[in-house]
């Protein structure tokens, strides 16, 4: 059986009152990565979790009308999603490295041509949605940091 991946949105949101009633403790920020938003009823703080930040990669880079195309990864801890949007003339990749170590990935397309420069952003434990210096040609190889989400987009 495969190892569960860390990017899994179990609950849309969870609050401190529910934590106290359900678990009989106030450890709202303990093991909460399955929740997308955490609400501290005592302070009014609203926090987005790692999975919430990861979801933004899809929401920002994959637009309505895009279709998912077949993509594979030879590294089991690396998940690859590719979306083609013929109406906008774009392609978007979302790469998730679930490994505890950086992974080198090679991006190559069959039957798809990308023109111009790629753009991208990357989320890691040290920061979310940081600009990603994407190469300007296909195929290309890049390093995905440990436990990261990287989005890359280009024009068809």
Give the separation between CA 19 and CA 10, rounded to whole angstroms.
15
Confidence (pLDDT) at 2? 36
Other beta carbons less than 10 A from residue 70's beta carbon: 7
Give the separation between CA 11 and CA 116, rounded to whole angstroms.
39
Pick from 4-18, 122-136, 142-156 the range whose average pLDDT is largest.
142-156
Sequence ranges of the chain with CATH classification 2.60.40.1180: 53-155
Confidence (pLDDT) at 33? 64
Q: Which of 43, 49, 42 is nearest to 13 (CA)?
A: 49
Q: Are 66 and 74 in contact (CB under 8 A)?
A: no
Q: Global pTM?
A: 0.79
List, for residues 86-145, the tens digit of each pLDDT value: 999 999 999 999 999 999 998 888 877 888 788 999 999 898 899 988 777 778 888 999
Question: At the topology level of CATH, where does 53-155 sit?
Answer: Immunoglobulin-like (2.60.40)
């Amino acid at each position: 059986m495969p190892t569960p991946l860390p990017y899994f949105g179990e609950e849309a949101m969870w609050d401190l009152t529910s934590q106290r009633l359900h678990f009989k403790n106030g450890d709202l920020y303990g093991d909460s990565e399955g929740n997308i938003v955490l609400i501290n009823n005592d302070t009014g703080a609203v926090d987005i979790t790692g999975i919430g930040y990861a979801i933004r990669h899809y929401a920002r880079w994959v637009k309505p009308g895009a279709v998912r195309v077949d993509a594979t990864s030879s590294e089991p801890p690396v998940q690859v999603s590719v979306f083609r949007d013929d109406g906008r003339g774009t392609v978007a990749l979302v790469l998730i490295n679930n490994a505890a170590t950086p992974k080198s990935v090679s991006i190559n397309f069959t039957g798809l041509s990308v023109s111009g420069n790629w753009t991208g952003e990357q989320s890691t434990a040290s920061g979310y949605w940081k600009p990603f210096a994407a190469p300007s040609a296909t195929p290309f190889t890049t390093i995905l940091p440990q436990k990261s989400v990287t989005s890359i987009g280009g024009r068809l």
